[in-house]
Structure 1
C-alpha cells in the first residue's frame, strides 16, 4: 500500500513507496534544451516494497520539484578579482533561479567575503548559520561554481552527505553534474580535488609573498597594532606610521607606568575620561559602529609590552630576524625606543612582589634610631597632655627605647622628642650633601648591543647548522654560505669589541641639588632612603627633658650613598659623624663602638650644623 508523502513546501512530490532513499542530481538539462535555462531540478527516488512471500523489489522514480526555495551562496577570498566578484556570482545565481524550468524563489543569501576556500562550509560566518540553524528554510544550495562552496575535497564530501540526509540539492550554475550517479559523483570529486590543488597553490604563493614581505620589513597581514596606522610602500606592501592620537597616548602611558603609576589607576582614568579603546577607534575610523568597550589593565599592559611598540616585526609571535641576524623593523618611527620598551617590560613583568606596608605610626626614624645603652630600637609613643596655654598642642610624640618599663630594663628611660630628633637627622644629612648636584643614571646602548650580539650569534649558529646538514650543497650555494658567514662573524667581533669599551650606565646632570631631592620625598621615601643607605642614629637618656638629647648620627659609607643617590661633588668619602651633647671621649667614635657606653647628663659641646 503506497503511503502519501507530506507536501513539499513550494511543490508536490506525489505518491511513492515506504523506506525512501533520496539522492539528488543537479543541473540536468533536457536533451532538447535550447538554452541553459531549460534545466530540470529533479531527484531519483529509490523505493523498496516488501511482498507477502518475503521478496523485496526496488523501483526508481523521477520527481520534479516545482518552485524550489533557493539559498544563494557567494564566497570570495579577496575582493579584488572582477571575474569572481560577489556581484557577478549573484547575477549567475539569479539568472539560473529565474529560468523558465526552475522558477525558484531566492529565500536568502549566504555571502562570505574575505573567507578562504579552505574553511569548512559549516564554519563559515554566513553559510554556517544556514546549515547549522536554518536548514529547514531552503531546498536548494546554489553556487556559481563548486570552488565557491569549498576548496577541500573532505569538506565537499561532508556537505554532499549532509544534503543527502536532509533532502537538499546542490546546484552549480556553471558545471552540469548528476550527483545521483557514480560518474557524476566522480566528476564532482575531481573538480573538488582540482579546487583543492588550486588552493594549495594559492597558499604557497601567499606564503612566499609573506616571506618576501617579512624580509623587506613590510607588514603582511593583521590588524594595526596599538598606536600605528598603515602606509603604502613604494616597493609594495605596507609599513606602519604613528597614529596622531593614540601614539602620544601610548607614550604617555609608558611614562606614567615607569614613574610608578599602577596600571589599574590608568584604566580607571581612561574609562572616566571616555577615551575609546584602540579597537573602537579603528572601527570608528573605518565607518563601522563602535562597541563601546571599556579599557582593561590587561589591554594596557599588552599594548606596552608588545614588541611592535618598539618597531619590531613579528611573525607567529616571534621577532623576525634579517639575514644579518638583526631584528627587522616594521616602522621608521617607533613609538618607544628599544631601551624604553625593555624598561617598561621589566616594570610590568614584576608580579607577586611583596608590598611594603606603612607602619601603623609612621615616623622618619622607626628602625633607624637606637638606644645608646643597649642598642634597642626606638619606637614612637604619643602622649595626650593638658594644654599649658591656648595654642599648645595636646598630643606630644617622642621616641622611646622599647626596653623602657619592661622588666629588668626598667631603669632605661631613653626618650627624645620626635620632632627634635627628626630635625637633627635632617640637618646632619643636609650639612653633608645639601649642595651636591643630583645626577640621573641612564642605561647606555649596552643592553641593546648585547641583544643584537645574541641575535647575530644565533643567526650564525643556525647558518652553520644548515651548512652541516647539507642545505648549501647546491651549485653556487657554498659561496653564498661563506659570504654570509664572513659578514656575520665580522659583525659579532665588532659588537664584542664595542661592548668591552662601553660602560653600563652614564650619569646625566638634572640641575637639582640634594636639598631639592630630599624636599620632594614623602615620609616613607625618606625613611626608606635612611634604611637603604645605612644611616645610623644613637640616642642616650637625658635628664633635661625631651628637647635636648644626647645623640650620635653616622653615615658609615658616604661614597656608596653618593653613588646610589647619583650625587656628584661635596665632601670626601670618609665616614660622616655628627655628635650632639656627647663627651669628648665619644666624639668621632663610630656608632657600633659607642653602644653600651653611658653618657652623663650635662652640657657637652655639640658639633655645629
Structure 2
C-alpha cells in the first residue's frame, strides 16, 4: 500500500464501555498504525458509531453510512482496529468489499493485518468475516437466554412502568416485578366500567378533566416529587391505553407478543389490569360504530337517531334541523323544536311522502319501545373478537418455513448456532399455533352475561351514548306518514343484533322470527311476519326481508 494516503477511522461500539474494544482503545490502535513510518498516512476523519449493533449494515450506520454515501471522495482507506468493528455479518463485509473495489478504496483491519490488495488477503478477510458472524450469533443466543430466563420468572426488564402499574423490588433487591398501582387503579376501573357500559371515551375524558384527575404522566411526576404539567385527558389517550397490550399484561418485542413454551403470550405482571377476554371486549367497544349506508354522520350531532332513523317511504336517512320558533302576538317567544325529515324529499329528490316529525316525539317512542320490549332481558355481549391475525399468521408461517430451509441448507452449523436455531424454531412454532388458535376463536365469538338488563344499561346512558348504542347494535327505525290512513305517524323499529343474540340464547319466545320488530300506528302484519300468510302486497319493501324463518 503506497504511503501518504488519506485514512477514514472507523469506530464502533454496541454500548459505551472501558473494555478491550472501547472507543479510546480503537482510536489508539488506528492512530499508531496510520502514523507508522512505512505508511505516513493522514487521518482525515472519524466515523464513530456508539450503541450500534454489529449486525447493522455499514451503509446504514449513522456516521459511517454518511461517509460512504456522501463523502467517499474525501478518503482513500477505511481503517478499523478489528474486523468486527466494521461488521459482524459476512454478507455486509462482502458488500463493503465490493463497494471498495468499485470506488478504488482500500480496507485495513489492523489486528488481523489484512492486505486486501491481494487475492489471498481478500480470501482471509472473507473467512474472518464468517467467523465474526458466528461469534455474533453466539453472543445473541446468550443474550436471548438471559432475557428468556428473566421473562420466565416475570421479572421487569427495563424502563418506566406501563400505565396502571408500578415497579416493585423483591428478593432483597435482586429482582423487580410489575404490580398494579393502587393509587391510579380506581381510575382504570372506572374507565373499564364506563367503556363497558357503552360510554364514549370523549365523555370520560371531559369528566376526568372536570374532576382534575391526573393523567398517567402527571401521576408519575407527582410520585417522583416533580412538578406536574397539567396534561389534559383526551379520548385518544384513553383509546391508546385500552388498546395497549399491557392492559392484560402481555410482554411484546418489536410489536409482537413474546410467547412461552406452550405458545401462550408471556404475562409479565403477577396480576394484570384485566383478563385477555375482558381486554378484547374493551378494544371492540371503542371501535368506531359502523356507518349506515348513505348516512352523513356529523361530529357533535344533537339528535338521538342520527344514522339510525330512515324514511319508510323511500329508505333515505333522516336529517335533523332546529326550528327557530316564533313570537306570539303578546311578544313572548315560543322556542323552536328539533325535527327529523326525509333527506331525499328535503333535497328535492323523488320522495314525495317523506315525514316531517318532531324529534322529541320520535325519540320518546324509541325510548319507551326499548324499555317495553327488551328492557327486562339480561344484557349479553359478544366476547371481543380482536383484529384479524390472518396476515400475521401467513408471515409467521413463511418465516418458519425459511428458518427450517436455512437449517437444512447448513446455515446453522457453526458453534452455538444450533441452540439459536432451536430457540427461534420453538418461538416461531409457538407463535404459529397461537395465531391459528386466535383466528379460529375469532370466527365464532362467544356470548357472555354483563350482569345487567338492557333497560338498566339504556337508562344510565346520555343521548350521545344512546345513539352509539343504537348504531353499534345495528338498530333501525323507519317512519311513515299515515301507514294506517288518518292514524298519524307510523313507526317500526328493528332491534338488530340485540335480537340476534337473544335468539341464540332463546331469551324470548319468538323462535320463528329472525329479528324482533316492534311498531306504532302500522298494520299488524308489517311487524309480525307470521300474519303475512295471505299476502304481502302492501308490506313496504324494506320490511319484506323479515319473513318467517
The TM-score, its normalising length taken from structure 2, stands at: 0.50
Higher relative contact order (CA 8 A, sep 6+): 2
Instruction: Report which of the two structures shows the higher radius of gyration computed on alpha carbons.
Output: 1
The TM-score, its normalising length taken from structure 1, stands at: 0.46
